[in-house]
Structures are given as C-alpha cells and as structure tokens.
Structure 1
Amino acid sequence: MKLKICGMKYPNNILEVGSLLPDYMGFIFWEKSARYFDGVMPDLPKSIKKVGVFVNESIPVIEEKIAKYDLQAIQLHGQESVAFCSELKTKIDPSIEIFKVFSADENFDFSILKPYESVCDYFLFDTKGKLPGGNGTTFDWRILEKYPSTKPFFLSGGIGIEELDSIKEISKTNLPLYAIDINSKFEIEPGLKNTSLCTDAIYRVSTEN
C-alpha cells in the first residue's frame, strides 16, 4: 500500500517531508485553498511522485503547471467530465498518472465510475463536504463494499493516525486499495506538515506491505 501526503506548501517543510520518502506528495493548485501552492519547488528524491491537484481547471493551465513543476501525476478534484479526462490524457505525457476524485457519502452512486475507467489511472474517494477536499472528516468506508470496479483507488478524507489502524481491515479484503491520502490530520497549520506524525504514518503504512 502506498502513501500520499497532500497539501504541501512551504519549501523547507517540503524537503523535511520529502526526506521521509512518501510515495506521493500533493501540491494544490486551487487558489481558494488554504494550502494553495505557488512557490518554489525544491528538489525532491526521484522516487517521490509530485501530484498536482486541480479543481475544474483548464487543460492549458494544467499543462503549464506540469512543465513548471515537473509533475508526475494529476489529481482532478472537481466535476471534470469523462470527455475532459480523455482529452487531458491525449495531451499530456502518457507516463503522467491521472487520478479522478469522487466525493463520497452513504448515497454515493458507484455506477458513475464506469465511464471513467478508461480515461484515468486511479480513482480517489474523498469525503463529500463543503469544500472539494480538506474537510477533515471521514466517510463511512463500509460503502466501499459495493465497489464494482477493479480500478485501483486512493482512500482520502479526514484520515489520522487512528484511522490508519482501521484501514488495515480494508487492506485485508479483495478491494483494490492502492494508496492512502493524508493531509489535514497531519498538520501544524494548513500546508505545514508535522514531520513526526508523517514519520509515524509512513512506518504504519510500510509495515502493512
């Protein structure tokens, strides 16, 4: 199981967390976010995939950020259509991964996933809330028992140290849980990660492999 640490903002903190070697680090390019990233990207270990997080953004802007920050993955956190994902896939380097995010609650309709299977590499399930992400709450993971796809997915939404232990049970099932996405529960303030908590998270996730 992989680990993504999202909402990185400050160069020194990025380097500190990068030294822990998470699998992915996320940078939010949505201006309304308290974790909006518009700074200098420090050099990170090659093993870390840099993820650009976008909300209903245009393809030219996404392409610009890919070039500027050498992104290895794109996370689409808005209402991006299948057609949009398909067009994006044709315009960016095929090695760049595409994550399509879905906001989940107890009424989530899993049938909407099917058309996206061919136009993205991973799904990401986050908690449905007032904001596109970073709401700091979990959803009822039992709904994942209805997951109809073989597409690997990221699990996000209010995950803290305690929740990491609960995720062990999901990882023991046949669900294609690929990675855990952590953010607000591992922060000192928005965008500033607690490296001690991040170290603990990486240890817990890595010992599950």
Structure 2
Amino acid sequence: MADLIIKICGLSTEETMQAALDAGADMIGLVFFPKSPRHVSLSQACKLADMARGKAEIVALTVDMNLDGLSRINELVAPDWFQFHGSETPEACAAAKVMYKKKVMKAVPISEAADLEQAQFYSIVADMILFDAKPPQGSDVPGGNGVSYDWSLLKDLDLSKPFMLSGGLDPSNVADAIAQSGVKAIDASSGMERERGVKDVELIRAFVAAARGAKVAGE
C-alpha cells in the first residue's frame, strides 16, 4: 500500500459527491446516524452510492446500529465497507463481517498513547482501524467534530491491520498530519465544510490536492 488512501466522509449531495470523485478520493463515506448533520436517508444514499460505484470504495458509517438497520443498508446501498463508529464490540464487528460479507472498519477514539491499546482487540477482526479524535465533552456525535490529537502517536505503530488517521484534518494541516504520523490512509469530513454538515466543493479539491502533495514518512 505505497500510495496514500484518501477517504472523504459525510458526503450528502450529488454535487459534493461528484467533486470528491473528480478530485480522486479513494473512499467515500455515507453517514447513517440521525444525530449527525451529515446523515443521509436510504434513498439519498442509494443515489450517491450509484454515483461512486466502480470509482471509489463506498463506506457506510453507522453508530451502534441494530441488525435490521445494517441489513437494510447492506441490501439497498450495497457498500464495500461498514464503518462502525460507536461502542460496537469486536464480536459484533466479526459477526457483521461474516453476515454481510463486507469489509469492516472500526473507529477507535484516541487522545493519548494509552488509548491505542484497544485497537489491538479490534485488529483481530476488522480489516482497517480508523483512529479518530475523542469527541469533546458534551458532543452527541462520536466523530466529525473537527478536533484533533497528537498525530505522532501513530508513528511507527505496530498493528496487524492497516490503519487510517482521522480527526480535525483540513487542507491547511493534512500535509503536516501525514508527515508527523507516517500514515498511508487519511479520512476527513468537517475540514471540508463551509458550515456544519455542508461540504464545499473547493475545499474538497484543495484537501485532496494537499494530501496528494504531502510526503509520506518512509518514502
């Protein structure tokens, strides 16, 4: 995995989806969580997923969703990945992977080195770990809060599965994040928004360009 993988999450309109695809995003994220300003309905998600299919990998982000909800997303949207961004157990991740025959990404919230330890449990079953910043106190959503952490915590991390850096990334800091962490995969959402939940086409283009132009540690 020599090339950088770029995931743009929380897309909710055809215009911004097209911008992400044109910019060269490798993965696009659709949020199925009503509390999030980026939440999409199943009908919206189907249209957006059809735009992306064959051009970028489709990631369905859920938060402690029940099996009925997951099954409906799997059947109607047909994502390539399920991203579990709540308190799902390793066993639940493993069950979903077997049941839906899809790759699984598990978000692990971190703010200090000790938080990295829980990733080891999920790496046994998940295909990728996403390290996101712990949400600020009082937040009712687990991600997309625009907060960051010490990116160097991920440098030289020994994990049996690929991992992705997320949390507070935007066009102005993504190159630094890649350089400090040495990661080969990044994810961003709020850093490409002109207002909460509303993506900006120019910021999407700028983010992908800045990320592609960054030097990945070890290259």
Which TM bucket (shorter chain)?
A: 0.7 to 0.9
Tell me if the contact between 2:31 and 2:62 (Cα under 8 Å) persists in the aligned partners. yes
Of 53, 62, 66, which residue of structure 1 is paired with 2:70? Answer: 62
* Higher mean C-alpha deviation, range 118-127 or range 61-70: 61-70
In 1, the alpha carbon distance for the partners of 2:106 and 2:175 equals 25
Deviation at 1:69? Answer: 1.3
Q: Give distance in 2, aligned partners of 1:202 and 1:161.
A: 8
Write out per-residue CA displacement over residues 124-144 of structure 1, whole angstroms, 9 at most, x where no aligned residue.
011101330011111112322
Q: Which amino acid aligns with 1:184?
A: S
Match in the other structure for 1:185: 191
Map of 2:126 onto structure 1: 120
Cα shift at 1:186: 0.6
Partner in structure 2 of residue 163 of structure 1: 173
State yes or no: 1:21 paired with 2:37.
no
SS in 1 for 2:114: coil
The answer to whether the 8 Å contact 1:110/1:146 transfers is: no
Deviations 1:105-154 (A, max 9, x none): 12533322222222110000111013300111111123224733132111
Taking a change above 3 Å as real, the CA distance of residues 35 and 166 of structure 1, as seen in their structure-2 partners, is same
How far apart are 1:187 and its partner, in Å?
0.9
- The structure 2 residue matched to 1:137, chosen from 115, 135, 147, is 147
Deviates more, 1:190-199 or 1:75-84: 190-199
Structure 1 counterpart of 2:38:
35
Deviations 1:25-74 (A, max 9, x none): 11110111111111422432412111110001112311211221121111
Q: Which shifted more, 14-23 or 125-134?
A: 14-23
Question: 1-side partners of 2:26 and 2:109: how far apart?
Answer: 23
Q: Of residues 10, 35, 59 in structure 1, which corresponds to 2:13?
A: 10
Normalising by the residue count of structure 1, what TM-score does the alignment of the two structures yield? 0.88
SS of the equivalent of 1:162 reads: coil
Note the residue ranges of structure 1 that are not aligned, 5 or more in a row: none
The alignment's C-alpha RMSD in Å is 2.0
TM-score (ref. length: structure 2): 0.84
Specify the SS of the correspondent of 1:148: coil
User: Which residue of 182, 206, 212 corresponds with 1:206?
Assistant: 212
Q: Percent identity?
A: 27
CA distance in 1, matches of 2:6, 2:156: 23
- Aligned pairs, how many? 203
Between 151-160 and 181-190, report the one with greater CA deviation: 181-190
CA shift, 1:97, in A, is: 1.9
